[in-house]
Amino acid sequence: MEQKNTWETYQEGQLREVDELSGEYRKFLDEGKTERECVDYIVNAAEEQGYRELQELIKEGGHLKKGDKVYAVCMNKSVALFRIGERPMTEGMNILGAHIDSPRLDIKQNPLYEEGGYAYLDTHYYGGVKKYQWVAIPLALHGVIVKKDGTTVEINIGENEDDPVFFISDLLIHLSQEQLEKKASRVIEGEALDLIIGNKPILLKKDSSEEELSKEKKDKKKRAKEAVRKGILDILKKNYDVEEEDFISAELEVVPAGKAREAGLDRSMILGYGQDDRVCAFTSLKAMFEVEESEKTACCLLVDKEEVGSKGATGAQSRFFENAVAEVMNLTGEYSELNVRRCLAASCMLSSDVSSAFDPAFAASFDKKNVAYLGCGMVFNKFTGSRGKSGSNDANAEFLAYIRDILEKEKVNFQTAEMGRVDLGGGGTIAYILALYGMNVVDSGVAVLSMHAPWEATSKADIYEAKRGYVAFLKGAGL
- Identify whether residues 31 and 134 lie together within a single domain: no
Domain annotation covers residue 381: yes
CATH number of domain containing 404:
3.40.630.10
pLDDT at position 112 is: 97
- Identify whether residues 393 and 461 lie together within a single domain: yes
Given 256, 287, 309, the domain boundary residue is 256
Domain annotation covers residue 156: yes
Tally of domains within the chain: 2
pLDDT tens for each residue of the chain, 479 residues long: 677 899 999 999 999 999 999 999 999 999 999 999 999 999 999 999 999 999 999 999 999 999 999 999 999 999 999 999 999 999 999 999 999 999 999 999 999 999 999 999 999 999 999 999 999 999 999 999 999 999 999 999 999 999 999 999 999 999 999 999 999 999 999 999 999 999 999 875 555 566 665 665 655 555 567 899 999 999 999 999 999 999 999 999 999 999 999 999 999 999 999 999 899 999 999 999 999 889 999 999 999 999 999 999 999 999 999 999 999 999 999 999 999 999 999 999 999 999 999 999 999 999 899 999 999 999 998 888 778 877 788 889 999 999 999 999 999 999 999 887 777 777 788 889 999 999 999 999 999 999 999 999 999 999 999 999 999 999 987 77
The answer to whether 145 and 161 are in contact (CB under 8 A) is: no
d(CA 190, CA 230): 26
Q: Say whether the peptide bond before residue 276 is cis (omega within 30 degrees of 0).
A: no
Domain annotation covers residue 267: no
- Identify whether residues 319 and 452 lie together within a single domain: yes
Phi-psi region of 106 (alpha: psi -120 to 50; beta: other; left: phi over 0): beta
- Identify whether residues 94 and 224 lie together within a single domain: no
Each residue's pLDDT tens digit, 239-289: 999 999 999 999 999 999 999 999 999 999 999 999 998 999 999 999 999
Domain annotation covers residue 352: yes
The answer to whether 410 and 291 are in contact (CB under 8 A) is: no
CATH number of domain containing 161:
2.30.250.10
- Identify whether residues 33 and 125 lie together within a single domain: no
Report the half-sphere exposure of 289 (CA within 13 A, side-chain side): 17
- Identify whether residues 135 and 246 lie together within a single domain: yes
pLDDT at position 429 is: 87
- Identify whether residues 69 and 143 lie together within a single domain: no
- Identify whether residues 155 and 168 lie together within a single domain: yes
Domain annotation covers residue 190: yes
Given 256, 284, 308, the domain boundary residue is 256
- Identify whether residues 302 and 244 lie together within a single domain: no
Q: Tell me which residue range forms the domain holding 446.
A: 6-102+273-475
- Identify whether residues 143 and 21 lie together within a single domain: no
Domain annotation covers residue 207: yes
Domain annotation covers residue 265: no
- Say if pTM beats, i.e. exceeds, 0.75: yes
- Identify whether residues 67 and 123 lie together within a single domain: no
Given 256, 287, 311, the domain boundary residue is 256
Domain annotation covers residue 456: yes
Each residue's pLDDT tens digit, 131-144: 999 999 999 999 99
- Identify whether residues 236 and 290 lie together within a single domain: no
Each residue's pLDDT tens digit, 323-372: 999 999 999 999 999 999 999 999 999 999 999 999 999 999 998 999 99
